[in-house]
Amino acid sequence: MKLLMRMMVAVLFLALTASVAAQAPQKEPNRSGATEREQQSAQRAPLSVRIVEDQDDAARRRASEDAAREDRKAQADAQSQSVRAAWAQAIFGFLTFVLLFITLIYTARAAKAAERSADAAQDASGAAAGALEHTVEAAKAATRSATAAERTIEQGQQQFNLSNRPWATISPEIASASQMRLMQEDGSIVETDGLVLIPIVRNIGRLPAKRMQLDVSFDELPANSTRQWPEPTWSGVAFTVAPGQRIAADRIPIPAETVDRVFNRATKFAVIVNVRYLDPQNDQEHQSVSEYELDMATPYSEVAKDNMSGVQIRPLNSEMA
């Protein structure tokens, strides 16, 4: 701003200097035709002398005076034109300076506006970046919520499926058979007076267990507890167990050799009971296996041994699916 004021003062000073120079008086040349010697002679003349000019001299004098007047008029016109030109130049310079000053002002304002626009654009860019970051975080949160909701739905569906399906449990019992007639798998009838295994099946689920089959096998227990269970044959007759229903399946005779070895405590025997059935909703097959140990009740008597009432069964392992 100070630089602009200095420039204005300099322009005004130049304009005033040009005006003063144009108004300065100029030395008129001697156009009377008299020589310097004649003027000196006239000054030295002690006497008043009247010079009578003839017509030619008068004509020359009048011509000289007219030429002097024209010269003075031309000089005045030139001086006036110089003044007007100086003023015009000063005014033009002043207007140029004003326009330049106005241009600088608007340029400064435009620069300020551009700076503000740049700051606003930067702020808007930062706000847009922040909004984008918030949007990304919101999208991630929505994805996590959707995943959690999907997991919750899956867990709820699994829980519903687990609570709305058949569940079969097996609890075998030992009974004495005196002249008992038992039907074999091939339809033949056998008589036995030994021990029999009675699988008790119960459906603790909410839906019927369809096409249920049992498989019972006897196996020696090894010294250690790690062993593979025998594969079931599924040769029994299929039947259906309603929810809450308890059914005593077909009695299975225990081999006499097995009973004798249990009595003599020579070997430990296990009873493996497999059961499979279908879910009525989707015909999905479920299977359970339970392992029980045959052992003698302690203490026992000879009477108990004679009527074979001293054998007991206790659970070992179980798997349900």
Tell me the domain boundaries of the chain: 2-44+51-123, 168-223+234-320
pLDDT tens digits, 80-137: 888 888 888 888 888 888 888 888 888 888 888 888 888 888 888 888 888 888 888 8
Tokens found for residue 25? 């008086």
Percent over 90 (pLDDT), the chain:
7
* Higher per-residue pLDDT: 23 or 165: 165
How far, in Å, are 210, 271, 280, 316, 318 from residue 289 at the CA level?
A: 17, 10, 21, 11, 6
In words, the CATH class of domain 168-223+234-320 is: mainly beta
Q: Structure pTM?
A: 0.47
- Strand 269-278 relative to strand 252-253: parallel, antiparallel, unpaired? unpaired
- Residues with Cβ within 8 Å of residue 175, at least 6 apart in sequence: 195, 196, 198, 251
Q: What is the pLDDT of residue 306?
A: 43
Could you give the CA distance from residue 246 to residue 244 in angstroms, rounded to a whole number? 7
Q: What is the pLDDT of residue 18?
A: 56
Q: What is the pLDDT of residue 310?
A: 62
User: What average pLDDT is seen over the chain?
Assistant: 76
pLDDT tens digits, 147-192: 898 888 888 877 777 778 899 888 888 877 654 555 555 666 555 5
* Higher per-residue pLDDT: 4 or 201: 201
Q: What is the mean pLDDT of residues 292-310?
A: 56
pLDDT band at 210 (very low <50, low <70, confident <90, very high): very high
